Chain A
Amino acid sequence: MPEQLVFAMEVFLNGLMAGVLYALVALGFVLIYKASGIFNYAQGVMALFSAMTLVGIMEGQVPFSHLINAMLGTHVHHFGWHLPAVLGILLTMVVMVGLAWLVQVVIFRHLVNQEPIILFMATIGLAYFMEGFGDLMWGAEIKKLDVGLPQGINLWIDETTFNIFDYGFFIDNLDIVATIIAALLVGVLVAFSQYTKQGRAMRAVADDHQAALSVGVSLSFIWVMVWSVAGFVALVAGIMWGTKSGVQFSLSLIALKALPVLMLGGFTSIPGAIVGGLIIGVGEKLFEFAIGPIIGGATENWFAYVLALVFLVFRPQGLFGDKIIERV
């Protein structure tokens, strides 16, 4: 087999894995958009905030320590405990549910029935607020996040492919774990929305707010729930990306990676987010591999958008989006 083809296969596989990570971020957007029509710009900041909270709780950091020290002249930094990851994740989830509730009560309850662009704007305000709040609460330095996920090359794949192609493929263990977790997450979400009472209520709300309201579904409960689930998805994404790079401000920029995925998959479709993520991941990696060296590299950022754009010209509602029906 020609060498370039083998390389391309490796790039393809890695693209799939990267795509899973993009999809994970995109999933949070889709959940909220589907249930409440809000395009949640703050999703990236939520990932950052949840990861910071997780590290803070696990390491026993005193929240707002900098502010307290500056105002009271004290020197408090740590409670002096180290919590296991599972407990940390549970406590972080409690925080995220609280956040979801607050967001609902303080912001979106007052903005019911507004146009999508207004709701979008409100999430921008939320993003600004949380950006400052998170830094104030946990500090702006880089934090190492270790919840015990494996990292590094997968030797089994390396050896197996070496025996077949005479060239060992590189697959990151973290990516494999991420893929498994993402698959589980999607499975759980699908099961939840298909087979539980709350899940059905959620789908009802997504279909038609007023009809759902008239059969006795509590809109505000559903919205708090959806924001909590999105918070959970943000936490998972935050853990995956944070393990690789440490928890730091740039984590909030992963939202930008999700936008082309959303465009491609459609804002309202969970399978769309997954398939879109895979297409974007593979597309940008293969393009960088094949064309990148010719035109100078670093093409991934814009290529993802151009790829999505080309798709959209042929299918304006995205791959799995609801068909746009317009009546005069």
Chain B
Amino acid sequence: MKTKLITAALAGIMAAAPALADLTFASLSYRTGPYAANGIPFADGYADYLTLLNERDGGIGGVPINLLECETGYNTEKGVECYESTKGEGVLAYAPLSTGITYQLIPKVTADGIALHTGGYGRTSAKNGEVFRNVFNFPANYWDGASVGIKHLLDINGGDIAGKKIALVYHNSAYGKEPIRTLEELSKKHGYELSLLPVDHPGQEQKSQWLQIRRDRPDYVLMWGWGVMNQVAIQEAVNIRFPMENFIGVWWSGSENDVMAAGAKANGYKALTFHNVGNNFPIFDDIQKHVVDTGKAAGAGDQIGTVLYNRGMYNAMLLTEAVKTAQAMTGNMDISQAEMIKGMEALEMTEDKMAALGLPGFGPSFSVSCQNHGGDGMVAVSQWDANAGTWSLISDYQQSDMSVLQPLIDADSSAFASENNITPNCN
């Protein structure tokens, strides 16, 4: 055992390699394990965008970017190890890419004064920036997703879904249970009937759930799925001939990976999204030229333009824009961790900014403030075209129903604040 400790000591020394560049980001990715298929494109997009900035612009404002990638395998303990091994290197913002790891890191980043960005996952009530000073979950969270999902149903039903039956098929975990409270509140408001169908991890066997859907004939099915559960659910929906256009998944159930296994019959399946899809943007030419062709791509280069790749890229883009904001605010190019948080709180995404980046219409326009760390909760609906093999947006970005969500967020965040003796403030 002693020899092991010595070898581990050596390893620890090796781990503490000096930081090479000045703007440091950490991506806790998972390219292995049960969710690797989803983790790979996301991590590729995240890394490729930062590589692009380094290759094309020499970093942000002339300061090069250093990306620390650490493999978590979607495992919380490894996530903690990753955080501890990288936090000494002046990381500006962490992207933990797992709700479980996010919960672990929230107290830690708060104690260490580092920003944590969870775009489209993580703790929903972190939207309340007065309580969660270091945690950002713009541009949208799960409750926004649930709310806009219902809004979409209202739209296609002429504003009235009273008496309709809506079933929620969800991953039986903290993540999957996220939308339930929102949907229950909304059902009081809009008068639909909600039925809940949990699927236990991993979700390879869902016959019971889909037989029940076939018997009960709900008008719409919403899904909060993850991993193999998505593919099986879509396949089973095809099998029971559930009309695919009435089947809406959250953004983690709406990638090419999820619909591919079901083939042509998955045509028409819908998914919520908070950014645009497809590879029809000018920036992809730059990525091709500066990143892929020079052999610096994080992956094989075959994931470019897929939904999850775009999401990784979008997340990286929001953070680098926050860096730019911070640089403009302070006049300091090599910003500190505290300045990064200020930059994120002052982040404003506009159509002009995105067009200038080569990403016209890629995401909603929104702004972040100290009170509101979650953006405006703008979510759109996308649809799968199996013949063309592409996703495309079928609606505009809509804002979630804040009159229902805000009380929920306030309740949850104030509970957290009182548990942890935090006085909400914005100084």
A and B are interacting partners: yes
Question: In whole Å, how far is B258's beta carbon from the nearest beta carbon of chain A?
Answer: 9
Question: In whole Å, how far is B414's beta carbon from the nearest beta carbon of chain A?
Answer: 28
Are A285 and B240 touching (Cβ within 8 A)?
no
Are B200 and A142 touching (Cβ within 8 A)?
no
Selected from B40, B205, B209, B240, the residue in CB contact (under 8 A) with A170 is: B240
Please, how many angstroms separate the alpha-carbon atoms of A95 and B241 in the complex? 38
Please, how many angstroms separate the alpha-carbon atoms of A138 and B419 in the complex? 47
A297 at the interface (CB under 8 A from B): yes
Selected from B31, B209, B261, B300, the residue in CB contact (under 8 A) with A142 is: B261
Count of chain A to chain B residue pairs whose CB atoms are closer than 8 Å in the complex: 112
A249 at the interface (CB under 8 A from B): yes
Taking beta carbons and an 8 Å cutoff, which residues of A are in contact with B? 7, 10-11, 14-15, 18, 66, 69, 73, 75, 77, 135, 140-142, 144, 146, 151-153, 170, 172, 241, 244-246, 248-251, 253-254, 257, 285, 288-289, 292, 296-298, 300-301
Q: Which of chain A's residues have a CB closer than 8 A to the CB of B263?
A: 144, 146
Q: Which among A69, A73, A170, A285 has the greatest number of chain B C-beta atoms within 10 A? A: A170
Contact with A along B216-259 (1 / 0, CB 8 A): 00000000000110011001001111000000000000000100
Are B204 and A253 touching (Cβ within 8 A)?
yes
Are B260 and A142 touching (Cβ within 8 A)?
yes
B113 at the interface (CB under 8 A from A): no
A-B contact pairs, 9 of them (CB 8 A): A11-B211, A151-B235, A245-B235, A245-B261, A246-B257, A249-B34, A251-B204, A285-B208, A298-B199
Are B215 and A141 touching (Cβ within 8 A)?
no
For residues 89 through 123 of chain B, which have their beta carbon under 8 Å from a beta carbon of chain A? none
Please, how many angstroms separate the alpha-carbon atoms of A294 and B103 in the complex? 31
Contact with A along B191-214 (1 / 0, CB 8 A): 000001111101011011101101
Are B207 and A14 touching (Cβ within 8 A)?
yes
Question: In whole Å, how far is B184's beta carbon from the nearest beta carbon of chain A?
Answer: 15
Question: In whole Å, how far is B153's beta carbon from the nearest beta carbon of chain A?
Answer: 23
Are B200 and A298 touching (Cβ within 8 A)?
yes
Assuming the contacts A73-B295, A77-B300, asked whether A10 and B211 have C-beta atoms less than 8 A apart, the reply is yes
Please, how many angstroms separate the alpha-carbon atoms of A142 and B226 in the complex? 13
Q: Which of chain A's residues have a CB closer than 8 A to the CB of B198?
A: 296-298
Are A153 and B240 touching (Cβ within 8 A)?
yes
Are B37 and A298 touching (Cβ within 8 A)?
no
Are B239 and A144 touching (Cβ within 8 A)?
no
Are A11 and B208 touching (Cβ within 8 A)?
yes
Please, how many angstroms separate the alpha-carbon atoms of A235 and B197 in the complex? 32
B282 at the interface (CB under 8 A from A): no
